[in-house]
């Protein structure tokens, strides 16, 4: 738009005259003050009027605002892509042109989904009713939708066959709507979303859902409620722990490994009271004082 110049006694009056002539609001124009004007001084002083230049801002649609935003976003991301507005009726569709779609789409569409979220926020700024925004690249959305529909049908059949709930991986709201829509006409299953964002997921529930039995619950949670596994042996917490037979007093197994309490109080070595420990005494404790240890060592098998 070309600049239009307006003059008046003051700057404010010149702006008001310009807005009235253009039929525009203050926020719809750019104002450039050319001359602030001068008041008349003295008897023969000359009064200079204020002068402003008004330029009507380019009024963009919601989709055009989103495209303009993406044009400034891609250089910041270091991505070479050109956005183009292809539809703006019931929904806003923006097509991205790029040499490599992988860099724009990302793993499982994570990058293009983030771009779509930002574009949707920009396009719906100032709107009372939300308008859906779709950002696509190399027909990714259509191929992804077909894949999700096939997965939904396959898992619905599995849920009916097993009579159990089937949980899908976490998805964004757009992909969850595809799953709900794909199974909406089936009479043997229902779907619902559970969890919290960003880990919200879809659950497929068959109409022939089987009640969960205690045995199935034990298999699902392992032996957490029935005991723990130690090697190949399984111990139940509800059963008493197997008692260990204690060696008789005076046997090699009890020698030097227990303490016996006498009636007078205190403890002495040699007695057995059921206490097991490790004896680290002198191996020559029972030898005769005058005996000389032999230098030949023999081992009996």
**What pLDDT score does 289 carry?**
45
Q: Give CA–CA dist 162/156, Å, rounded.
A: 10
Task: Let me know: does 105 contact 56? Beta carbons within 8 Å.
Answer: no
- Which is nearest to 160 in space by CA: 186, 193, 194, 181? 186
Statement to judge: residues 72 and 28 lie in one domain: no
Q: Answer yes or no: is 186 within a domain.
A: yes
Please say which residue of 91, 119, 138 terminates a domain: 138
Q: Within this chain, do residues 67 and 129 fall inside the same structural domain, yes or no?
A: yes
- Decide if 278 is inside a domain: no
Residue 48's domain comprises: 4-56
Residue 100 domain-assigned (yes or no)? yes
| pLDDT means over runs of 10, the chain (301 residues) | 81 87 81 78 66 85 93 90 92 91 86 93 90 92 94 96 94 92 94 92 94 64 51 54 63 50 48 45 46 39 35
Q: How many domains does the chain have?
A: 3
Contact predicate 104/98, CB 8 Å: yes
Quote the CA–CA distance of 69 and 24 in Å, as a whole number: 24
What is the spatial distance between Cα 175 and Cα 143, in angstroms, rounded to a whole number?
A: 12
163 lies in some domain: yes
Mark whether 95 and 32 lie in a shared domain.
no
What pLDDT, in 10s, does the model give residues 256-285? 444 444 444 554 455 544 444 444 444 444
Residue found by looking up tokens 């000359």 in the block: 46
Same domain, 50 and 67: no
Q: Is residue 28 part of a domain?
A: yes
Q: How many whole angstroms from its chain centre is CA 80? A: 27
Tokens of 57: 């801002």
Whether the bond into 198 is cis, omega within 30 of 0: yes
Does residue 69 form part of some domain? Answer: yes
Residues 194, 178 share a domain = yes
Domain-terminating residue out of 56, 75, 93: 56
Q: 148 and 133 in one domain?
A: no
Helix axes 173-182, 140-162, angle to 10 degrees: 50
How confident is the model at residue 58, as a pLDDT? 79
Contact, 87 vs 112, CB < 8 A?
A: no
In a domain, 105, yes or no: yes
Last residue of a domain, one of 138, 159, 180: 138
Using the CB atoms, write b or e for 196-209: b if 16+ within 10 Å: eeeeeebbbebeee
pLDDT (0 to 100) of residue 279: 41
Residue 115 CA, chain-centre distance (Å), reads 17
> In degrees rounded to 5, what are phi and psi of residue 294?
-80, 145
Q: Give pLDDT, residue 166.
A: 96
Does 124 share its domain with 161? no
Beta-strand runs (E) in the chain? 4-8, 29-35, 50-56, 82-88, 92-97, 133-137, 166-167, 189-194, 201-206, 227-230, 233-236, 259-261, 267-269
Quick one: pLDDT at residue 259? 46
Whether residues 67 and 134 share a domain: the answer is yes
Residue 199 maps to which CATH number?
3.30.1370.50
The Cα 179–Cα 193 span in angstroms is 10
Say what the pLDDT of residue 47 is.
Answer: 74
pLDDT of residue 99: 83
24 and 83, same structural domain? no
Same domain, 151 and 184: yes
Q: State the residue for tokens 């205190």.
A: 266
Q: Which two tokens stand for residue 139?
A: 């027909």
* 149 and 134 assigned to the same domain: no
- Per the domain annotation, does 157 fall within a domain? yes
């Amino acid at each position: 738009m070309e600049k239009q110049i307006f003059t008046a006694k003051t700057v404010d009056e010149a702006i008001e005259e310009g807005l009235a002539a253009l039929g525009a609001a203050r926020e719809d124009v750019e104002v450039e003050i050319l001359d602030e004007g001068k008041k008349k001084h003295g008897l023969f002083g000359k009064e200079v009027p204020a002068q402003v230049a008004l330029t009507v801002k380019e009024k963009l649609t919601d989709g055009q605002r989103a495209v303009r935003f993406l044009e400034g976003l891609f250089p910041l991301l270091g991505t070479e892509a050109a956005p183009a507005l292809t539809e703006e009726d019931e929904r806003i569709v923006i097509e991205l042109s790029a040499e490599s779609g992988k860099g724009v789409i990302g793993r499982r569409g994570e990058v293009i989904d983030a771009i779509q979220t930002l574009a949707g926020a920009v396009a719906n700024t100032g709107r009372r009713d939300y308008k859906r925004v779709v950002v696509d690249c190399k027909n990714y959305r259509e191929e992804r939708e077909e894949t999700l529909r096939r997965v939904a049908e396959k898992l619905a059949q599995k849920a009916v066959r097993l009579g159990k709930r089937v949980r899908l991986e976490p998805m964004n709201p757009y992909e969850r709507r595809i799953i709900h829509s794909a199974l909406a006409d089936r009479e043997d299953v229902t779907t619902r979303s559970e969890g919290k964002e960003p880990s919200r997921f879809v659950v497929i529930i068959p109409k022939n859902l089987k009640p969960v039995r205690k045995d199935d619950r034990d298999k699902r949670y392992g032996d957490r409620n029935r005991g723990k596994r130690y090697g190949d042996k399984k111990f139940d917490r509800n059963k008493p722990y197997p008692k260990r037979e204690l060696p008789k007093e005076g046997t090699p197994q009890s020698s030097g490994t227990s303490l016996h309490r006498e009636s007078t109080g205190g403890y002495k070595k040699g007695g057995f009271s059921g206490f097991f420990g490790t004896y680290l005494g002198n191996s020559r404790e029972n030898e005769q004082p005058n005996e000389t240890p032999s230098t030949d060592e023999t081992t009996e098998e």
